Amino acid sequence: MDRIEHHLFVIFGATGDLTKRKLLPALYRVMNENEVADRCVVLGVSPGRLDDDGFRRLCRQALTEAGIADTGTDRWAEERIFHQFVDRDAPLDELRHRIEQIEAQCGLPGNRAFYLALPPPAFPGVVTALDHAGLDQAPGWARLVIEKPFGSDLESARALNQLVHAHFDESQVYRIDHYLGKESVQNLLTFRFTNPIFETTWTRDRLDSVEITVAEDLGVETRGGYYDGAGVLRDMMQNHLTQLLTLVAMEAPSSFTADAIRQEKVQVLESMRSIDPAAVVLGQYTAGSVDGAASVGYLDEDKVATQSRTATFAAVRVNVHNWRWEGVPFYLRTGKRLAERTTQIAITYKKPPVCIFHGIADDCPISPNVLVLTMQPHEGFEVRFELKEPGTARVVTQPMSFDYADRFPQLPSAYQTLLLDVIIGDQTLFVRADEVEASWNLWTPLLERDDIAVHPYPAGSWGPPAANDLLTTGDDRWTMRMRW
């Protein structure tokens, strides 16, 4: 791919889990599949006492565990991977000298990506240190990649934006949300704006509701300490589900460019008013069974406070107050230790205004048409429609579906897509500063309340029954309860 220039990819937190499980395999696949492996040199930065050979062994192990075992991995590790020890909170002058040395050794033009695979409290210090060492400027381009969460509320997000902008231009900043790298999430825009049969019906006159579900069957695992201070609204709702909402609700951009697309997403958030606490249901999982295996409750997880009120489930009803969506409720639902792992968007249409089948079909049982877009674990979409069952007078609901795996068996990972975009300088799938703040502006008032009840729900269920009470339209049941 000609757009991939020779560059140095610098990873802060090089020995961490994210680097080993996601970043190194994704970088290798990007370079190998585009046959430009010689254009990417990786410099791992960490406080670990590793020399280059030690880090290369770690990288080979990470690639092997990711199922990558071709002959190119050894050559890539030997010739294109290095490590630099850096003390926490220390100046980065030694790092600057090492970068210049590697660029001269490998014949690089000075293009640099700095990926902060670090805990959020470390972001400000590293950003400031990069500037003090002169690394925010480069002979070529310099790009800063920041993992979520970007802030913990509106005030902290604004402060972090101000700090980042004091050292880097917004055009250099890539705030990463891995959900936006999923092929099926990206396809939302293509699906909407190249298929008028659907797009022209996504209006308040035709639609009953929109549901967005991001369900996890896992608990907090080893993240109990972090999660107990964050909770479901910060961990999932403010970023992943809000991103999906903006992609569903945005208007057609003037062009398929980063700024045009991101501007439409911001306008969706600016059309949303404060969320009514009465339209929020929170929950916390208790002991139960997930996929036949016993599961402990949240309060028994490692590093979780014994009396914690942290929510692990949230269901929220919101509205987008603009010409297209006024009066159409959006139902957002996410949680841990739910019945299954899935991400789905369900667009439910209004039923026919009059049923003409009385006396033919019992009780005229017509269900609404539903368009279901599935992001994981099986990417695809499904349209649910009504028809007459042959040989009877019954009206039945049937699905018509498309599964990505049937047509495209090999989909790139989310990180593979996003890292390629960082390298070629495409910001379309990354979150802009004003979008971050608009999202936190929506959710921060809820985070500041302590009077919203947290309902218990057994692990392996679909959350507390109170979540069903949010549904004010249709059949008063979540679409995910329908099975085919």
| Positions marked active-site | 240
Question: Quick check: 130 and 167 in contact, CB under 8 A?
Answer: yes
Identify the H or E element spanning 318.
Answer: strand 313-318
CA distance 118 to 97: 22
CA distance 33 to 41: 16
What's the distance, CA 120 to chain centroid? 17
3-state secondary structure 431-474: ECHHHHHHHHHHHHHHHCCCCCCEEEEECCECCCHHHHHHCCCC
Tokens of 474: 């249709």
Of 104, 172, 254, which is closest to residue 427 (Cα–Cα)?
A: 172
Tokens of 78: 């030997």
- 70-76, long-range: CB within 8 Å, 24+ apart, which pairs? 70/32, 72/32, 72/37, 73/28, 75/37, 76/28, 76/31, 76/37
Identify the H or E element spanning 402.
Answer: strand 395-403
CA distance 61 to 473: 52
Identify the H or E element spanning 228.
Answer: helix 224-232
Tokens of 52: 């280059």
